[in-house]
Amino acid sequence: MREESVFPDAEALSRAAAAMIEEAAAIATTARGRFAIALSGGSTPRALYEILAADYATRLPWAVTHVFFGDERCVPPGHPGSNYAMAHESLLARIPGLESRTRRIEGERPPADAASRYAEMLHREFPHTAGTSATTFDVLLLGVGSDGHTASLFPGSAALSERSRWALATEAPPEAEVRDRVTLTFPALDAARTTLILCAGAGKQPIVAQIRAAGARAGDRYPVARVTARGTVHWLLDNAAAGL
């Protein structure tokens, strides 16, 4: 199922995402005694992470929350371009004990090695019978690049057609700050129960319009439009990105 919500600004979008995460966490801990969330990188989710650290410090089941990542730039964890570094500064370091339940992608390793190690870890964390549909994260956070990429699945990448491996090394376009990446693939992303796609700012208005104009064929050109989930893919936009 796909849903879309539009909010006045990025702050309202982030607060709505936090409330949706709180709801999903309550359902997950009641059902399975733990809550698994995969974080997105980039700049958009920072405000959400700061809200979770500040206003949800006692409202989420942090003691049974396990944190993963949808992708990473192949840099050391302290590098300013690291998705882990951004999450660590805005959230992980601010919730006691959360660091110990966080599984970062090892950006300091050779990309293919980091990808295979991460995929092996994910299969241990989310075991399923071969040939059945796996379920991974209770909540998966994703962003939208101006070219329609999500995680580090870029238009035209061979990784878009991966059907079995859960993580791969990919390469961002030449203009990217860090080109070498590790990303989850659609088999891992689509196994999430609930996926929140955060899209804010006037800079995203063109890609949102292009995806809308492409309709049912959007997934052919824009990886973010191909994302599915076991439950709901919920797009959260602000007025600026929605062109309102």
Q: Based on CB atoms, which residue is closest to ligand 6PG, 25 or 86?
A: 86
Among 14, 82, 83, 157, binds ligand 6PG (CB under 6 A): 83
164, HSE (Cβ side, Cα atoms, 13 Å) = 2
136 binds ligand 6PG (CB under 6 A): no
143 binds ligand 6PG (CB under 6 A): yes
Q: Based on CB atoms, which residue is closest to ligand 6PG, 42 or 187?
A: 42
x/- site string to ligand 6PG, residues 93 to 132, per CB under 6 A?
----------------------------------------
Number of residues that bind ligand 6PG (CB under 6 A): 15
With CA atoms as reference, report the closest residue to 66 among 94, 106, 107, 25: 25
Residue span binding ligand 6PG (CB under 6 A) among the ranges 35-43, 58-66, 87-95, 231-239: 35-43
Q: Crossing angle of helices 46-55/83-90, nearest 10°?
A: 30
151 binds ligand 6PG (CB under 6 A): yes
Query: Which structure tokens are listed for 6?
Result: 């539009």
71 binds ligand 6PG (CB under 6 A): yes
**What is the closest distance, in whole angstroms, from the C-beta atom of residue 33 to ligand 6PG in the complex?**
29
The dihedral of CA 214, 218, 220, 224: what is its sign?
positive
Please state, in angstroms and as integers, the Cα–Cα distance from residue 140 to each residue in 27, 66, 72, 208, 223, following that order.
15, 12, 15, 20, 15
82 binds ligand 6PG (CB under 6 A): no
* 3-class DSSP state of 33: coil
Query: Which structure tokens are listed for 224?
Result: 């973010």
41 binds ligand 6PG (CB under 6 A): yes
148 binds ligand 6PG (CB under 6 A): no
C-alpha 32/C-alpha 19 separation (Å) is 20
Task: Say what the alpha-carbon torsion angle 83, 197, 122, 75 is, to the nearest 10 degrees.
Answer: -20
14 binds ligand 6PG (CB under 6 A): no
Interface ranges with ligand 6PG (CB under 6 A): 40-44, 71, 73, 83, 143-145, 149-152
